[in-house]
Amino acid sequence: MTNRKLFAIAAFALMILFGAALAGCNPSTPCPTCPTCVPTPTVPAATPTATPIPILWDERLTEIGVTVNRVSGARYVLVAAWLTKNGSWDDVPAWAKQWQLDSLGGDHNAFGRCLDKVGNVVQKTFVLSWPSGSDSRTPESDGWANLPLSGNYWDPAKGPGAYTWTALNGDVLVGIDMPHNWHWSFFGVWQERQDFVPSNNFERDGSGYE
């Protein structure tokens, strides 16, 4: 073997030894595992969840202390709430005008509308409650249930109003009333939760099966 070939073999051996040293390899220490060769752990697929129905909210409700009680497991979710003053729709939020009707002229009422998952009107019983009692209504032919509010000179600066308003088995609109006996009406739209699964074919709501 020529000196040139011996020199080439020796140089190649030195290169291998030098590379191994850089990688931290020696006869007694295994080379570190190549990071790209480590198996990627399997991540279980996330369980799909229903997209929450957004709420359309008239900020004037917040200004007078009206709130929403989100009821755990409720079938119907409050998706929109607003108020009118003296029966006028002139200053309601633009999104509320989609529900404007000539029949909604009451100027000190609680109005409620209930929808199924795809937006069809449900003839659902609504309940208006106050400290000394309650009353209920089902929707009229226009799809809205309503009950009048009585004036009691409520001052919003002193706390929430006396009334709550809800579709049975639904979220509750809390603290509505007639501030200073002004003729204000309160509107709420409820919709069935997209992920709700009835436990049977009927649902008791206090007035019978429906």
Average pLDDT, the chain: 82
Rg, Å, the chain Cα set: 34
Same domain for 146 and 108, yes or no, is yes
Same domain for 63 and 33, yes or no, is no
Count of alpha carbons within 13 Å of 11, Cβ hemisphere only? 6
Same domain for 105 and 158, yes or no, is yes
Whether residue 204 is contained in a domain is answered as no
Burial of 204 (0-12, 13-18, 19+ CB in 10 A): exposed
| Whether residue 2 has pLDDT greater than 90 | no
- Tens of pLDDT along 43-58? 555 554 555 567 999 9
Same domain for 79 and 169, yes or no, is yes
Whether residue 111 is contained in a domain is answered as yes
Whether residue 201 is contained in a domain is answered as no
Same domain for 23 and 91, yes or no, is no
pLDDT-wise least confident of 32-46, 68-82, 181-195: 32-46
Under DSSP, the state recorded for 169 is T
Whether residue 119 is contained in a domain is answered as yes
Average pLDDT over residues 128-146: 96
| Lookup: tokens for 189 | 């739209």
Same domain for 149 and 95, yes or no, is yes
Q: How many domains does the chain have?
A: 2
CA-nearest of 191, 52, 56 to 119 is: 191
Same domain for 15 and 104, yes or no, is no
* pLDDT range class, residue 174, cuts 50, 70, 90: very high
Q: What does the alpha-carbon distance between residue 106 and residue 186 come to, in Å, rounded to a whole number? A: 10
Expressed as residue numbers, the domain containing 82 is 56-192
Q: What does the alpha-carbon distance between residue 191 and residue 205 come to, in Å, rounded to a whole number? A: 16
Q: Give the pLDDT score at 198.
A: 82
Average pLDDT over residues 190-194: 96
Phi, psi dihedral angles at 117 (to 5 degrees): -65, -30
Same domain for 182 and 148, yes or no, is yes
Q: Identify the residue whose tokens are 């060769």.
A: 37
Same domain for 109 and 137, yes or no, is yes
Q: Give the pLDDT score at 105.
A: 83
Q: Give the pLDDT score at 38.
A: 54
Q: What does the alpha-carbon distance between residue 78 and residue 133 come to, in Å, rounded to a whole number? A: 23
Same domain for 185 and 106, yes or no, is yes
The pTM assigned to this predicted structure is: 0.72
| Lookup: tokens for 35 | 């990071």
Same domain for 31 and 107, yes or no, is no
